[in-house]
Amino acid sequence: MIEAIWCWFLLKTMGKITLMAFGLWLYKELTMGLNKSERSLKGKVALVTGGTDGLGLETAMQLAKRGCRVIITYRNKVKAEASIDMIVKRLGHVEIQGLALDLASFKSILAFDQALRQVADKIDILVNNAGTFSIEHDQEGLPMKKYTEDGLELVMGVNYFGHVVLTEKILDLLKAAGRPEDPARIVTLSSIGHVNGRLNINDFDLNSNSRPYNAR
């Protein structure tokens, strides 16, 4: 009887260990093992918004690793310098620099466009990565809305409108880089969080008393 219980316990434990090992292997394959390309990107210029941490930082690092000249955008200069130093220390001699950009400000986007043209005459790869998701509540527990300096609801202003304006402003730089056999790329990151969301095109400001949206 004791031997049977011991065997059952051992099999159950081994099953858990095997399942955990498979889970770790699957996680590695899905997060670190899919991108095995060694294609050289030497001579290309990439722009990564929000490249100081998270997915943006990892994207910038992978592009730089393949010889691409990388420009990352930042709001915090100290944080950007630390991220760039980390990439240089890890990869050695790579071309990477940062430029200030606040996607919550159309004025900042226009200033960034001018600054970008001082350091690059083309953009081969644009990665629209930067984003925000900020929810604060008032004393009654109700969500408090935040707005950009242009009067747009913050999340829509940064994650959508900011990148639309940026892409439109530098579209000529993307066209300058592309060729029929090797066109420029625009990569826009999103989130699975949209699955639970609802979009009212007449209420981008998330007002309960929605008003018609005027594209002008």
All domains in the chain, ordered by first residue? 41-196 (3.40.50.720)
For residue 154, what pLDDT is reported?
87
For residue 175, what pLDDT is reported?
95
Of the candidate ranges 77-81, 96-100, 196-200, the one whose mean pLDDT is the lowest: 196-200
The rounded mean pLDDT for the chain is 84
Query: What percent of the chain is predicted at pLDDT more than 90?
Result: 54
**Strands 136-137 and 143-144: what pairing?**
antiparallel
pLDDT > 60? residue 208: no
For residue 190, what pLDDT is reported?
84
pLDDT tens string 126-171: 999 999 876 676 677 666 778 889 988 888 889 999 999 999 999 9
CA pair distance 178, 181, nearest whole angstrom: 8
Region 92-111: mean pLDDT is 96
Greater pLDDT, 152 or 200: 152
Q: Which two tokens stand for residue 69?
A: 């000249």
For residue 213, what pLDDT is reported?
42
For residue 216, what pLDDT is reported?
40
pLDDT > 80? residue 210: no
pLDDT tens string 23-48: 777 666 665 555 666 778 899 999 99
Strands (E), 75-213: 96-100, 125-128, 136-137, 143-144, 185-188
For residue 84, what pLDDT is reported?
97
Region 57-67: mean pLDDT is 95
Q: Which two tokens stand for residue 32?
A: 């670190």
What count of Cα atoms within 13 Å lies in the side-chain half-sphere of residue 201?
A: 2
Q: Which of 80, 69, 7 shows the shortest CA–CA distance to 42?
A: 69
Q: Which of 190, 89, 50, 79 shows the shortest CA–CA distance to 70?
A: 50
